Amino acid sequence: MRTALLLLALACSTPPADKGGDSPAPDDTADPDGEGADGGEGGGDDTGADDTGGGGEEPVGPPRASGCDANDYDVAIGEDGSQQVRTEHYLLLTHGGADAQDQARLLEAAYIAYTEDMGALPEASGPLEVLVFADQASWVAGMAARGVGVPATAGGYYDYATQTASLYQQPTLYFTEMLLLHEAFHQFHLQSRTREADLPTWYIEGLAEWVSRHDWDGACLTVGADPRGTIEDYWAAAASTLASSGSDLADWTADDAFPGRPEMMTFVHQQEWTRRDDWRAFREGMDFTGPGALPVDDAAYATHILDHQEPLWPVWLEWQHRTPTVMRGITPGVLSAALYKEAPATVSFEVPLGDAAYVGGIYGWSDAGFDIVFVDATGAVSRWIYTPDRNDWLNIDTLAEVGPTLLWEQSGDTLHLNGQEIALSPVLGPATGFALYDGTADFTTLAE
C-alpha cells in the first residue's frame, strides 16, 4: 500500500486535462461534437423570446426518460482488433478496447429513452450506425476514409449525409458515455423529428447536452439526470458566467448567442424542470412547424443554476453515476476520491467491502496534505496521513474492524463505522470526501 500510494498521490491530486469533447470552460464557444458548424445556424431570430414571465414557476422536476437493456450481444472481432455489434436498432463499431457489449446495451437503452422523450422513431432504412474510435487521430483518419471530414477540435460528430454518429474515447468512462449519448441523441432527433430543419445551435446542442447527463448501472439508463459530480461540471461553469457577466436569455435565444454549452445545457434543464408542458409545446413547434414564443426569466435561470450545483468534485481516476444515490469508483492500482465542494455537517454512505483494497473517507484535502480513514477488504480500519512535501504516506494506527459492508456515519467531529464510534486523535473535523484505492466500489449516499 505505502509504495503504491507514494507513486500515485501526485496523479490523484491534479485532475486530468480534457482531450476535446466537452469543455468545462464557461467562455468556450467551440463545438465539442462539431454539430454547430453544420447543425443549423440561424433560425434563432424567430424564437420570439422575451423576458416577460414564464420562467419563475416552482421547480417540480420532470419525469426522467429511461430505458433498460440487459442483452448479451454477439461481438465480431475484426483483423484490426475492432469490435462490431449488431443490436435491434444499432450497428456499433468500436476500436481501442472499449467495452462494446456495455456500449451496445447503453445505446439500446437510450433508444427506448429517446423514444419516450420524443414520441417518434427514426426514419431509417437500416440500423443506426455508431462508430467509437480509440483516439482523436484515428477518429479523424477513420472518418476521412469514409468521406467525412470532422472538426479537428471536436470529440464527436453526427454527419447528416451519412447519418453516422462518431466519437473517440474520452479521458474518463463517464465522459465517453456522455458523448456517446450526445451523438446518438443528435442521430435520433434529426432522423425522427427535425429532418433537415434549420435549427438554432443552442436548441439542438442544449438538448443533446441535457440528455447526455445520465445514470447508467449497466442495464438501466436514465437521461437528463443530475450527476453528483463530473470533471466537466457545466453547472459550475454556468455559475461562473453569471458571476462574471450575468445572462441575457432574450438575446441568447433570439440571436443564438449563448456563451457556450454550459449555458445551453443549464437553460434546457431549467425549461425541462420548471416549464415542462410549455417547453414541450415549444419543442413540438421547433421540430415540426416552426418556433413559437419562448418566455424567459433571467432571475429564475440564475436561481436554478445555483440550486443545481454538483455537490462533489471527482478527483482522478474514475467515477460513474449508477443511480441518483450510487456512485461507482473504479481505480485499478491507484487512489481516487470524490470531494465535497462544501463539507456537509452530516455524511452517511454505505459501501460493500471486498472489491477494492481500501475504501473510506478523506479529511482536510489540501496542498498541505490530508488524512484518510481507510477500511480494507477484510474490514480492518486504519488511519493514514499524506504529506506532499515528503510525498509520504504514514499509517498512524489501526482503529477497529467492521464488515462485510461498511456503513459510514459522520456527524460533525463524530465518526461511527457500523455503529462503532471511532476515536480520532486529534479530532479531524467533518469529512471532506470519500475515496477508494485499487479496485471498484459502489458508494451509496444515504444522507448528507
Answer yes or no: is 223 within a domain: yes
pLDDT bracket for residue 254 (50, 70, 90):
very high
CB 3 within 8 A of CB 334: no
121 and 170 both lie in a single domain: yes
How far is residue 336's CA from residue 95's CA, in Å, rounded to a whole number? 27
Q: Which domain holds residue 408?
A: 2-15+316-447
Query: Are 365 and 407 in the same domain?
Result: yes
One domain for residues 251 and 360? no
Whether residue 183 has pLDDT greater than 80: yes
Per the domain annotation, does 134 fall within a domain?
yes
pLDDT in tens, 86-126: 999 999 999 987 899 999 999 999 999 999 999 999 988 89
Q: Is residue 364 domain-shared with residue 248, that is, in the same domain?
A: no
Residues 325 and 399 in one domain: yes
Cα of first residue to Cα of last residue in the chain, in angstroms, is 30
Whether the per-residue pLDDT at 52 is higher than 70: the answer is: no
**Residue 438 domain-assigned?**
yes
| CATH assignment at residue 153 | 3.40.30.160
Q: What DSSP letter does each residue of 291-357 carry, written as one string?
A: ----B--HHHHHHHHHHT--SEEEESS-EEEEETTEEEEEEEEEEEEEEESS--SEEEEEEESSSEE
Pairwise CA distance, residues 164 & 166, whole Å: 6
22 belongs to a structural domain: no
pLDDT for residue 58: 43
Looking at 307, 325, 350, which one is the last position of a domain? 307
Q: Which of 34-38, 324-328, 384-388, 401-405 is least confident? A: 34-38
CATH code for the domain in which residue 438 is found: 2.60.120
301 and 323 housed in the same domain? no
Which of 29-43, 186-200, 238-252, 390-404 tops mean pLDDT?
238-252
Kindly report the backbone phi and psi dihedral angles of residue 86, in degrees, each rounded to the nearest multiple of 5, phi listed first. Answer: -110, 120
Where does a domain end: 268, 285, 307? Answer: 307
Q: 61: pLDDT confidence band, cut at 50, 70 and 90?
A: low
Residue 257: predicted pLDDT: 98
Q: Is 24 part of any domain?
A: no
Tens-digit pLDDT profile for residues 337-353 = 999 998 888 889 999 99
> Is residue 93 situated within a structural domain?
yes
Identify whether residues 196 and 57 lie together within a single domain.
yes
Q: 163 with 245, same domain?
A: yes
Q: Are 276 and 59 in contact (CB under 8 A)?
A: no
- Which one of 307, 324, 347 terminates a domain? 307
**17 pLDDT higher than 60:** no
One domain for residues 270 and 385: no
Tally of domains in the chain: 2
Residue 33 has pLDDT above 70, yes or no: no
